[in-house]
């Protein structure tokens, strides 16, 4: 069941094609698939979840450039560490702003796709 749903997600993303990706933003297919798989893990591995998660990544991509998304995800990952390096990522306003942009885009995606 999960495999069929994931195959459907990959197919749906592949059918979106380069023209659609350019319209929505510059997120590569593997990043979109990774997002959808993670989202489905958190929201159920159903066809409905796949549809909502695909909507979510498309919304996110329409709001936040891919480079900014990667920066925010990197900062969040680094903040989970321990020690001096992790502390730097927790205590810099510029990093807070980047993560806040991601959180706002995620909130908009939640409203558009999950409500």
Task: Express each pLDDT in 49-65 by its tens digit.
Answer: 999 999 999 999 999 99
What is the model's pLDDT at position 84? Answer: 84
Nearby residues of 5 by Cβ (< 8 Å), 6 or more positions away: 40, 45, 46, 47, 50
pLDDT given at position 10: 42
pLDDT of residue 18: 45
Split at pLDDT 50, 70, 90, the class of 82 is confident
Quote the percentage of the chain above a pLDDT of 90.
Answer: 65
Is-contact 57 70, C-beta < 8 A?
no
pLDDT above 60: residue 47: yes
- Interatomic CA distance for residues 111 and 115, integer angstroms: 5
pLDDT averaged over the chain?
Answer: 84
pLDDT band at 22 (very low <50, low <70, confident <90, very high): very low
Entry pTM:
0.73
Which tokens hold the place of 65?
Answer: 């450039």
Q: How confident is the model at residue 2 (pLDDT cuts 50, 70, 90)?
A: low
Are 80 and 110 in contact, with CB atoms under 8 Å apart? no
Cα separation, 1 vs 5, whole angstroms: 6
CA 22, 27, 30, 32 dihedral sign is negative
């Amino acid at each position: 069941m999960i495999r069929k749903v994931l195959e459907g997600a990959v197919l749906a993303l592949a059918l979106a094609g380069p023209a659609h990706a350019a319209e929505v933003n510059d997120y590569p297919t593997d990043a979109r698939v990774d997002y959808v798989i993670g989202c489905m893990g958190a929201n159920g591995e159903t066809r409905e979840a796949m549809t909502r998660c695909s909507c979510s990544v498309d919304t996110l991509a329409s709001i936040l450039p891919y480079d900014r998304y990667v920066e925010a995800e990197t900062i969040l990952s680094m903040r989970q560490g321990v020690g001096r390096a992790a502390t730097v990522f927790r205590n810099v306003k510029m990093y807070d702003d980047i993560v806040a942009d991601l959180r706002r885009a995620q909130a908009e995606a939640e409203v558009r796709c999950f409500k």
